[in-house]
Structure 1
Amino acid sequence: MTNLIKMLRIDERLVHGQVALIWSHQLQVDHIVVVNDKAANDPIQSASLKMATPPTMKAIVLTRDKAKTLFADPRFNALNSFIVVNNPQDARFVVETGVKIPLVNIGNFGRASKEAAANKKKYTENLRLSDQDVADLQAISDSGTPVAYQIVPDQQKIPLDKLIQKGA
């Protein structure tokens, strides 16, 4: 049985309107799996992410270690899911666990704080990447998993190679 992961999204806000309402409905999922050590270890943030999830879906907030265990469990293959991380490093981790991801979608990233944005190159109004971020995204792409920037489903996808050229 193949898993039913629809997409992995990188979005520094994790679960919010675009993720909880637009993407999850577009992808027709019933589980949103958040992989982020900080969020999973913060009961308030974890509860907030779960509350932001529509009542027709279940949110699971996991550390990297617990996510790796979940992805290895054969029962995970039955979950119609959408994985959300808030940085390229966590996205690379998920892909490197061996779970099949049909697409890594880059959303809003690199603008959360002025300090963080100052050390990153601007690619679009909603995307700033450091050299390490680009290296992690390139490693994902090189592994055979497609990577593209797209804020919402009705916006045109920009493949990673074109995105990097655009920012050059």
Structure 2
Amino acid sequence: MEISFVRIDDRLIHGQVATVWTKASGCNRIMACSDEVANDPLRKQLLLQVCPQGYKAYVLPIEKAIAAYKNPKYDSFKTLFLFTNPTDVLRMIEGGVDFKSVNVGGMCFKEGKTQITNAVCVDDKDIESFKKISEKGVELELRKLAQDSKVDLIDKLKSLNLI
């Protein structure tokens, strides 16, 4: 399976992903990877319904996504991987998925989170996962829109004295 693009966006499949990131990444498949979402029949169904025409979408728990990545029968897939949080990305990497770069595009505000950009809020668990991902040599870049300039996430966290 070819990795076309990896994005953390807690909305998963939505307008920006459907119209811009699919084209920018050159993917032919969209894989939303989340135990929580995969186990929520309504949310899963809604995500599959908003998949843009011409693409095939899947909503899988992390372990099944890792197994699919490793399965040679999916070698023709050019996959846009979507996640709601960095902890799930780290689980995929630790499970043997060879991500080189992760785009961090949208993590909404919740109690206990700190806003670091207009679209990304993090808590201590997120920061710890980002540090571990970075230590594995994976690029972490902040970019809400495809045409935006990349900003190094770790540098941003350091500049805000969060690490």
- Using structure 2 for the length normalisation, give the TM-score: 0.93
Provide the residue aligned with 2:104 in structure 1.
106
Matched to 1:123, the amino acid is I
* 2:131 counterpart of 1:133: no
Provide the residue aligned with 2:88 in structure 1.
90
Matched to 2:69, the amino acid is F
* 2:77 counterpart of 1:79: yes
Provide the residue aligned with 1:120 in structure 2.
113
Give the distance between the partners of 1:136 and 1:150, measured in 2 at CA: 18
Q: 1:167 Cα deviation (Å)?
A: 2.4
Say whether the 8 Å CA contact 1:10–1:104 is kept in structure 2: yes
Q: 1:40 Cα deviation (Å)?
A: 1.0
Give the distance between the partners of 1:78 and 1:101, measured in 2 at CA: 17
Q: 1:47 Cα deviation (Å)?
A: 1.4
Match of 2:64 among 66, 77, 97: 66
What do you get for the CA RMSD once the two structures are aligned? 1.3
Matched to 1:69, the amino acid is A
Say whether the 8 Å CA contact 2:100–2:137 is kept in structure 1: no
Give the distance between the partners of 2:136 and 2:43, measured in 1 at CA: 32
CA-to-aligned-CA distance 1:14-62 (integer Å, 9 cap, x gap): 1101112111111111100011112111222111111111110000110
Provide the residue aligned with 1:145 in structure 2.
138
Give the distance between the partners of 1:77 and 1:106, measured in 2 at CA: 26
Matched to 1:63, the amino acid is P
Matched to 1:79, the amino acid is F
Mark the runs of 5 or more structure 1 residues left unpaired by the alignment: none
Give the distance between the partners of 2:113 and 2:44, measured in 1 at CA: 27
Match of 1:25 among 3, 19, 23: 23
Percent of residue pairs bearing the same amino acid type: 28
Say whether the 8 Å CA contact 2:114–2:122 is kept in structure 1: yes
- Using structure 1 for the length normalisation, give the TM-score: 0.90
Q: 1:7 Cα deviation (Å)?
A: 1.8
Give the distance between the partners of 1:15 and 1:140, measured in 2 at CA: 23
Provide the residue aligned with 2:47 in structure 1.
49
CA-to-aligned-CA distance 1:54-100 (integer Å, 9 cap, x gap): 11000011011211221221223321111001011111111212112
Number of residues paired by the alignment?
A: 161
